[in-house]
Amino acid sequence: MQQLAAAIRSGDRAALARGITLIESRRDADTAAADELLQLLLPHTGRSARIGITGAPGVGKSTFIEAFGLRRCAEGHRVAVLAVDPSSAVTGGSILGDKTRMTELSRHPHAFIRPSPGGGTLGGVAARTREAMLLCEAAGFDLVLVETIGTGQSEVAVHGMVDWFLLLLSPAAGDELQGIKRGVMELADGVLVHKADGDLAAAADRAAQQCLLALRVLHPGDAEPPPVVLGSSSTGRGLDDLWQVIEHRLAARRASGAFAARRRQQADDWLDTAVQDRLLGQFLADPATAAAMRSARERVARGELLPSAAARQLVQQQRERRT
Ligand SMILES: Nc1nc2c(ncn2[C@@H]2O[C@H](COP(=O)(O)OP(=O)(O)O)[C@@H](O)[C@H]2O)c(=O)[nH]1
Ligand SMILES: [Mg+2]
């Protein structure tokens, strides 16, 4: 692990990929090694800007990451791209198709792209993505982009691991604002109205106006509500402005202490979630408890038993079996 840690720190991308494979492994033998690796690298983590990217499927997240990432690489940044894909928990694999939208970036010597870990719960997928992010930071990547893939629950998980949560909206946002979950809009640190090019440019202007109004309602009395930027990954419009706005706002948060406070809160939440996941895993590892849980689920579904009472009984029964 000492050697692997040193190789990762030297920026060796093959070593970084090996390290991430190790933390994604759920074999018991690998878990201890992975913990050791992360502990060795911990002092060298944290020095990146972590940006989450969300938006409806087809809004152009992957295309945006390619265009935006290449621009930042050209400025001398080192860019890592990760993804959280809850559907990969079902399919057991990640959407490799997405990497095909990032062909140039994936070949760039200053970029590193890793698809979403597959398998397990959303909590597990998110935890492994967080750890992968730390390894990328130790390897010298100073900009980490995390894409949410598919629709659903991954937004909250990604919001909980980044410094800046960027929502991409399409020019049809008038319709979309109703479709997009209000909760996601509330989480956004900023909005990019994407595809603001060609025939879509005028609609994008209107969408940006609507979006500004919506954000003012969501952040009443806020002197600096989340910024709205018009952009296009096809033409490059807005992609540098967007980065300037993000850098400016993050610098202000660093100065005020809000940046560190958010990271502390995220680490604290991660600890709670990790303990909960571990305890639940241990609890259900007992076959009798797992069977009791299944029958409790059925009785709850039939309306014969309340979940709170079921939980009390399950815990009590396991305790009695153990003593
Ligand atoms: N007009 C226009 N189309 C775009 C732009 N960016 C992406 N697209 C198209 O939008 C579609 C979806 O892009 P993709 O990056 O896969 O979206 P994702 O599902 O959000 O990752 C593709 O057909 C892209 O070619 C853009 O800046 N302008
Ligand atoms: Mg995509």
pLDDT of residue 79: 98
Alpha helices in 79-200 (DSSP H): 88-91, 103-107, 122-138, 154-159, 173-179, 182-187
Nearby residues of 104 by Cβ (< 8 Å), 6 or more positions away: 66, 70
Residue 206 token pair: 């209107």
Residue 96: phi and psi, rounded to 5, are -75, -25
Last residue within a domain, chosen from 201, 230, 256? 256
Distance from the CA of 213 to the center of ligand 2, in angstroms?
27
> Could you tell me if residue 305 is inside a domain?
yes
CA of 199, nearest ligand number: 1
From the CB of 148, is ligand 1 less than 6 Å away?
Answer: no
Mean pLDDT of 176-196: 82
Nearby residues of 92 by Cβ (< 8 Å), 6 or more positions away: 118, 119
From the CB of 58, is ligand 1 less than 6 Å away?
Answer: yes
Mean pLDDT of 280-308: 94
From the CB of 195, is ligand 1 less than 6 Å away?
Answer: yes
pLDDT of residue 179: 56
- CB 45: neighbour CB atoms within 10 A? 16
From the CB of 63, is ligand 1 less than 6 Å away?
Answer: yes
CA of 198, nearest ligand number: 1
Distance from the CA of 60 to the center of ligand 2, in angstroms?
7
Mean pLDDT lowest among 126-140, 181-195, 300-314: 181-195
Residue type for position 160: G
> Could you tell me if residue 111 is inside a domain?
yes
Query: 212 and 80: one domain?
Result: yes
Query: 173 and 245: one domain?
Result: yes
Query: 119 and 78: one domain?
Result: yes
Query: 247 and 309: one domain?
Result: no
> Could you tell me if residue 312 is inside a domain?
yes
Torsion 86-90-92-97 (CA) sign: negative
Query: 211 and 100: one domain?
Result: yes
- Measured CA angle at 172 (ends 170, 176), to 5 deg: 85
> Could you tell me if residue 263 is inside a domain?
no
From the CB of 101, is ligand 1 less than 6 Å away?
Answer: yes
Distance from the CA of 58 to the center of ligand 1, in angstroms?
6
Asked if pLDDT for residue 90 goes beyond 60, the answer is: no
* Count helices and strands in the chain by DSSP H and E runs: 15, 7
> Could you tell me if residue 124 is inside a domain?
yes
Query: 180 and 301: one domain?
Result: no
> pLDDT digits over 139-151, tens only?
999 999 999 986 6
Site to probe by mutation for ligand 1, drawn from 63, 102, 194 as the one with most ligand atoms within 8 Å of Cβ, is 63
305 is in which domain, residue-wise? 271-322
Check: CB of residue 198 under 8 Å from CB of residue 222. no
pLDDT of residue 92: 46
pLDDT of residue 115: 86
Check: CB of residue 45 under 8 Å from CB of residue 139. no
Tell me the C-alpha distance between 40 and 139, whole Å: 12
CA of 55, nearest ligand number: 1
Distance from the CA of 170 to the center of ligand 2, in angstroms?
14
Query: 190 and 81: one domain?
Result: yes
Distance from the CA of 59 to the center of ligand 1, in angstroms?
6
> Could you tell me if residue 38 is inside a domain?
no
> What CATH number is given to the structural domain containing 161?
3.40.50.300
Mean pLDDT of 92-101: 55
Strand partners, 48: none
Residue whose CA is at the smallest distance from ligand 1 atom 28: 195
Mean pLDDT of 63-88: 93
Residue 191: phi and psi, rounded to 5, are -125, 135
Query: 246 and 302: one domain?
Result: no
Query: 182 and 275: one domain?
Result: no
Residue 108: phi and psi, rounded to 5, are -70, 135
Query: 277 and 130: one domain?
Result: no
Distance from the CA of 61 to the center of ligand 1, in angstroms?
7
Distance from the CA of 307 to the center of ligand 2, in angstroms?
37
From the CB of 59, is ligand 1 less than 6 Å away?
Answer: yes
Query: 194 and 246: one domain?
Result: yes
Q: Count how many domains the chain has.
A: 2
> Could you tell me if residue 252 is inside a domain?
yes
Query: 247 and 286: one domain?
Result: no
Mean pLDDT of 239-258: 97
> Could you tell me if residue 235 is inside a domain?
yes
pLDDT of residue 221: 86
CA of 54, nearest ligand number: 1
> pLDDT digits over 225-237, tens only?
999 999 999 999 9
Distance from the CA of 58 to the center of ligand 2, in angstroms?
7
Last residue within a domain, chosen from 225, 256, 287? 256
Give which of 274, 231, 223 is closest to 68, Cα–Cα: 231
pLDDT of residue 93: 46
Residue whose CA is at the smallest distance from ligand 1 atom 17: 60
- Is-above-0.85 flag for pTM? yes
Last residue within a domain, chosen from 231, 256, 281? 256
- Measured CA angle at 206 (ends 201, 210), to 5 deg: 140
- CB 103: neighbour CB atoms within 10 A? 10
Atom of ligand 1 nearest to the CA of 147: 21
